[in-house]
Amino acid sequence: MSDYTNLELEIVGHTAVLTLANPPANTWTGASLAALTRLVGDLNANPEIYSLVVTGQGEKFFSAGADLKLFADGDKAVARDMARHFGEAFETLSQFRGVSIAAVNGYAMGGGLECALACDIRIAEEQVQLALPEAAVGLLPCGGGTQTLAWLVGEGWAKRMILCGERVDAQTALRIGLVEEVVGKGEAKRAALALAAQAAKQSPSSVAACKRLIQGARAGAPAEWLPVERELFVDLFDTEDQKEGVNAFLGKRTAQWRNR
């Protein structure tokens, strides 16, 4: 795999562990967002990768989002370029074919929280703070935050966080559905890897199909996706995973997935 600017990649079994590494606050740049887009594409092309865990370097920050110095001179060309990079990176992350888990180990602000929102599941450490504070500096979330946050927590809490600039702590995030689990300080990565290991027991072909169906409901009525659900069920019979899964169950052995 190629070099990824400000991103560190480690492979643990069938899980890719991505660490956001741009100290001191793990901020995003155009280069690192483009690198994320490339990285997810590379992982999608690797049949041995089933899951992706995203975390931040150090103890204080998951990611503080974009470096505001980029926008200090009001250059619209820079703004347009960064908005494109944010959109492409987090939409690509959202469409990762496997299970993506954000191990939120510190402050997740602005584009940092949007990165976590683009993942399938979020595990937060008990000390974290989460916010989309862009409106406080005359900006708005441009990496999907206005859409994905409202989908997860409802319009009211999305408006509290985006329009009123309200920060939420880990327990509030758990209560409103912004995260799925809260763990002790320093435990998010371990918990995410354990969940990724559970995902590795599932058929990768089935996971990809199910994820497409679950996320499809965001863009259309569930009734539109029911026929697609039935078709994708039948399509799985073209895969080696389907035959392996059923026969492994009947033979009382562990399935050996081929992700095809």
Q: Which of 125, 134, 155, 229 is catalytic?
A: 134
Q: Which of 88, 91, 114, 166 is catalytic?
A: 114
What length is written for the chain? Answer: 260
Q: How far apart are CA 18 and CA 93, in angstroms?
A: 12
Phi, psi of 61 (to 5 degrees): -125, 135
Secondary structure of the chain in the HEC alphabet? Answer: CCCCCCEEEEEECCEEEEEECCCCCCCECHHHHHHHHHHHHHHHCCCCCCEEEEEECCCCEEECCECHHHHCCCCHHHHHHHHHHHHHHHHHHHCCCCEEEEEECCEEECHHHHHHHCCCEEEEECCCEEECCHHHHCCCCCCCHHHHHHHHHCHHHHHHHHCCCCCEEHHHHHHHCCCCEEECCCCHHHHHHHHHHHHCCCCHHHHHHHHHHHHHCCCCCHHHHHHHHHHHHHHHHHCHHHHHHHHHHHCCCCCCCCCC
Tell me which residue of 70, 163, 166, 150 sits closest to 114, measured CA to CA: 150
> Is position 8 annotated as part of the catalytic site?
no
Tell me which residue of 147, 143, 40, 21 sits closest to 82, measured CA to CA: 143
> Is position 166 annotated as part of the catalytic site?
no
Residues with a catalytic annotation lie at 114, 134
